[in-house]
Amino acid sequence: MKGSGQLPAAGRQAGPQSIGLLGGGVAGLALAALLGGLGHGVTVYERDRAGGKLRRVTVGGLSFGTGPSLFTFPGVWRAFLAQLGEVDPLDLRPLPGGLGIHYTPFGEVPLPVPPGHPLHSAWSRYVASAAPLAPWVETLLTTPPRLTDPLFRQASGGLFRATRGHLTAEGWVRAQRLPPALAHAIRTHALNAGLAPEDAPALYALIPALVAEKVYRPASGMGALLGTLLALATARGVQVREGAEVVRVDVERAALTLRGGKVCQHDLLVSALDPVRLAALRGHSVRSPVSCRTVSGVALYAALPAPAPLPATSVLPPTDFTTFRAAMRAGALPPDTLALVHADGPRLAVLLTAPATARNLGPPHSWVRAQVRRVEERLGVPGLLASARDVVALPPAYYAAGGYPGGAIYGAALPVWRGGPLHPQPYHPAPRLWQVGTGVHPGGGLPAILGGALIVKRLMQGRG
């Protein structure tokens, strides 16, 4: 038995326990590996294939990694590996161009802004404004939000000094009086929270300052992360059951009913599902109006006949964020949207932000065609997608099938005062139930997902 693996259950029980974990995405696999490393018997139940949003798809004979496209705050990944006693197998490499070129209505802005660029002085002033938070951001991502914890209080102090009392990303950006092109580029990164800058916490306006010069990708592509997590989990005795769809959850008995009627009993349950999906499996109903959802997306993966003449990352923000926000809240397709373009040799990924309405948007749809034309014209590559040997599209309906209603990528749109790392999260809503993942600890992509797994592991050990 491992005393360090104690988990608070219905009355604290010492020693290894049987844990049923719902959802084999990044959060579920990461936490499964951590709990398996403590000696617990962990079974992951995944309705489809493991990976969640992080998958590999083959397009025209080329392999693409879906889901997160960038690796930021690598210290969180290293902290996760340190908990497992592992060295980094991913071979993370700096992504050329950092966060890419932002094609704003006021001109092109590379982030980071290089010396000699007309905006470099303003960029340096902006980066300096985030300095109070820089030493603490990874602490916030990996530390339970408990005001009794001196380390968390110190990290929170750094955030408050950097945000200067502003609640929203929009409020913070306005107060800085930055040149319009740079301000527009920075506003774009509020969407790391899945929200327009008027609704995103001020923290997200600081993200480019904190990560622009430290953007990474595994040498063999983002899909390598899935294989690594699966290997780390199975090496610690975790059973990953793909195609095992849970249709009912009995929290009081820590029992799961699978499609077909089989009941699986455990000591504890952990949900890596969105809380709305979990509520439905528990027999509860939760309203989810479109106006209270984060954004969804349309991902287009294209195999080109030759490498695209494009930088590694190009970003086309909405022309007007107020119009964009109104469309998302109404569930309407905006006249122009955030488009992220990732080019890697003959591989091209075009990611379009869409409202979370579970639409089955694909390349033939008039709105998708219009957004692709906008991208191609702005980047100077007309007809690029039409030249592809093959294209695969993942629409909001795809993200809705295994996640939050409507395909909202970051789940519910929380009020600004509840966003980010400062508020207590519903990690432990019932004596025999824990929660992890973006629906519980939203925003921030991979760092928040992996950091959330570290937080939940610590709390489950009774060290919060």
Instruction: For residue 430, give the CATH number of its domain.
Output: 3.50.50.60
Position 346 scores a pLDDT of: 96
Position 444 scores a pLDDT of: 63
Q: Which of 369, 386, 405 is the last residue of a domain?
A: 405
Distance CA 213, CA 123 (A): 12
Position 221 scores a pLDDT of: 83
Does 398 share its domain with 341?
yes
Does 190 share its domain with 243?
no
Does 385 share its domain with 330?
yes
Q: Closest Cα partner for 435 from 37, 106, 28? A: 28
Residue 100 near residue 108, CB atoms below 8 Å = no
Q: Hey, which residues does 13 pair with through a beta bridge?
A: 7
Does 302 share its domain with 270?
no
Residue 25 near residue 246, CB atoms below 8 Å = no
In a domain, 104, yes or no: no
In a domain, 285, yes or no: no
Does 400 share its domain with 424?
no
Position 464 scores a pLDDT of: 61
Coil, strand or helix at 195: coil
Q: Closest Cα partner for 393 from 68, 66, 70, 71? A: 66
Q: What would you measure as the largest C-alpha separation in the chain, in angstroms?
A: 66
The pairing of beta strand 339-344 with beta strand 313-316: antiparallel
Does 400 share its domain with 295?
yes
Coil, strand or helix at 262: coil
Burial of 159 (0-12, 13-18, 19+ CB in 10 A): buried
In a domain, 151, yes or no: yes
Does 78 share its domain with 175?
no
Distance CA 223, CA 64 (A): 7
Does 136 share its domain with 239?
no
Q: How many residues does the chain have?
A: 464
Does 350 share its domain with 266?
no
| 52: alpha, beta or left? (left if phi > 0; alpha if psi -120 to 50) | left
Q: Which of 186, 209, 232 is the last residue of a domain?
A: 209
In a domain, 282, yes or no: no
| 294: alpha, beta or left? (left if phi > 0; alpha if psi -120 to 50) | beta
Distance CA 286, CA 396 (A): 20
Report in angstroms the alpha-carbon separations of 33 from 37, 70, 225, 322, 401.
6, 22, 13, 42, 25
Position 10 scores a pLDDT of: 39
Cis peptide before 112, with omega less than 30 degrees from 0? yes
In a domain, 146, yes or no: yes
Does 300 share its domain with 398?
yes
In a domain, 243, yes or no: yes
Does 359 share its domain with 394?
yes
Does 267 share its domain with 170?
no
In a domain, 215, yes or no: no
Residues of the chain with pLDDT under 50: 1-4, 9-12
> Domain count of the chain?
3
Q: Which of 156, 182, 209 is the last residue of a domain?
A: 209
| DSSP, res 358 | -
Position 52 scores a pLDDT of: 82
**Positive or negative: CA dihedral 444, 446, 449, 453:** negative
Position 233 scores a pLDDT of: 98
In a domain, 377, yes or no: yes
Report in angstroms the alpha-carbon separations of 367 from 66, 237, 319, 380.
22, 47, 16, 20
- Determine the structural domain holding residue 449 and report its residue range: 3-91+221-274+413-460
